[in-house]
């Protein structure tokens, strides 16, 4: 069984910020497989209560939520 460690909010926020930058880069290049995985992960991560504390993550979540609404997802 794999041992899971507890991630603190500052550490998790840093990981989410790095993920967001990677997601935006993948979206810019249009890599479909990476983009699909990134979108799914972004949707899961932005539900975290500390995600909105990071302006970069909050803005990306806002933009992607608007895109999802336009696309009917």
Written as six digits, the tokens of 50 are 């500390």
One digit per residue, pLDDT tens: the chain, 73 residues? 555 556 566 677 777 778 778 777 777 777 666 666 666 666 666 666 666 667 777 777 777 778 877 877 6
Three-state DSSP at 48 gives: coil
20/15 Cα distance (integer angstroms):
9
- Is 0.75 surpassed by the pTM of this model? no
CB of 73 closer than 8 Å to CB of 41: no
**What sign does the CA torsion over 10, 46, 19, 3 have?**
positive
């Amino acid at each position: 069984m794999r041992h899971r460690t507890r991630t603190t909010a500052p550490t998790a926020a840093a990981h989410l910020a790095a993920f967001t930058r990677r997601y935006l880069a993948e979206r810019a290049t249009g890599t479909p497989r990476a983009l699909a995985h990134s979108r799914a992960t972004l949707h899961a991560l932005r539900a975290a209560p500390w995600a909105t504390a990071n302006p970069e993550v909050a803005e990306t979540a806002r933009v992607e939520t608007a895109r999802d609404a336009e696309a009917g997802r």
